A and B are shown apart, each in its own frame.
Chain A
């Protein structure tokens, strides 16, 4: 199937209300179907979680169906990832992610809030979440909250967002050949076709139930360099120096953030970060 061009989105009115209608309400409706398509962990994310030391606790901000909560699979229970999401229906699925017998810890919350003891997590991940926030300021705030949730001396972070640049396997096409890619990304709507088997009988229907329903989700597709740019802005607001930890000892009370990896993988941009202080 040829990639489908995505319609542009126009964010209007209060961004929180816009996200409620164009992101959160949609995920609550499509939760079961969406979850059935999201089960395979991505290698870079799996490697990140495998590299954590035993005894680590972490936050998965925008956990969705919780597919990263059981990792690393070969060391069950060595680390604890707590999942947070805005969709209550996805959390009901995330509670038993990976196994019906093992319960996961999940919290109903907003990625723009920080309902935690400051800097208490050893690591935080946010996978395919920040691109659902409707303004640049809100995306920056989400990155800031994620950094604040982790340990100032050794917090590790991994963030994934969808990219304008989609690979050849993608079903989607974000910009046409004639369109110049913007450095500020692009707001689009991505349709979700809810198969009729997955439609809950309780949800209100304006169409015949033998037709699949289509839900449009808002996405901000990231441009090259935009995610790292958000990280730099968030670090600056937090008073963190960006770069590798300096070797000198005794400089004083200095805190920083190192960008360990900054890349593109299969239609996503990602950054891995590490906090330090001397």
Chain B
């Protein structure tokens, strides 16, 4: 699956691509919304690891504008529910992710991203 929780952790790993290789840019996506169990304690623990700007901008590209541009200090229920939805309920089923630096394209098919590289592309 490519939900934004995973997208926020992935980076391009093609040979010699070490800077500006995150976040990968979604293209031609098909989305599916699936409800997931809300777990605010998980979200609070995971928040320090999020690259916030990448998450917000990617969510906006996928049509969700519910998150604030800055990570808030007060974590109220409404904010956590929005974060839960963005991270765990939006599934990118088809499409691709392009590296902002080297333009390598990682295809997504049936919800599974293909992060394999050809032998000559491995660093």
Which chain B positions have C-beta within 8 A of A8? none
Contacts across chains A and B counted by CB atoms under 8 Å: 95
Q: Which residues of A contact B95 (CB under 8 A)?
A: none
Is A117 touching B112 in the complex (CB atoms < 8 A)? no
Contact A79–B1 (Cβ < 8 Å):
no
A110 at the interface (CB under 8 A from B): yes
Majority secondary structure, A binding face:
loop
Residue of chain A at shortest CB distance from B107: A108
The answer, yes or no, to whether A203 is at the interface (CB within 8 Å) is no
Whether the pair A80, B42 counts as a contact (CB closer than 8 A) is yes
Interface residues of A in 68-98 (CB under 8 A from B): 76-80, 82, 84, 86, 88, 91-92, 95
Q: Assuming A55-B45, A106-B112, A108-B115, is B1 touching A113 (CB within 8 A)?
A: no
Determine the interface band of chain B, counting residues with CB < 8 A from chain A. 35 or more
CB contact between A57 and one of B9, B12, B36 (< 8 Å): that residue = B9
Distance, CA A116 to CA B39, complexed state (A): 24
Interface size on A, residues (CB 8 A): 37
Select B112's contact among A86, A91, A112, A120, beta carbons within 8 Å: A91
Is the Cβ of B22 less than 8 Å from the Cβ of A54? no
Cβ-based interface call for A104 (8 A): yes
Checking A86, A105, A109, A116 against B3 with a beta-carbon cut-off of 8 angstroms, the contacting residue is A105
User: What are 24 pairs between A and B in contact, CB < 8 Å?
Assistant: A55-B46, A56-B45, A78-B41, A80-B42, A80-B46, A82-B6, A88-B112, A91-B112, A103-B1, A103-B36, A103-B91, A103-B111, A105-B1, A105-B2, A107-B112, A107-B113, A107-B115, A108-B112, A108-B114, A108-B115, A113-B117, A115-B11, A117-B9, A117-B51
Instruction: Please provide the 8 A-B residue pairs with the shortest distance between their CB atoms, ordered closest to farther.
Output: A55-B45, A77-B39, A109-B115, A115-B115, A115-B13, A105-B6, A54-B41, A108-B114
Query: Could you list which residues of chain B lie within 8 angstroms of chain A, going by C-beta atoms?
Result: 1-3, 5-6, 9-13, 22, 34, 36-37, 39, 41-47, 49, 51, 91, 110-117, 119, 122
Which of A's residues lie within 8 Å of B, judged by CB? 16, 53-57, 76-80, 82, 84, 86, 88, 91-92, 95, 102-110, 112-118, 120-122
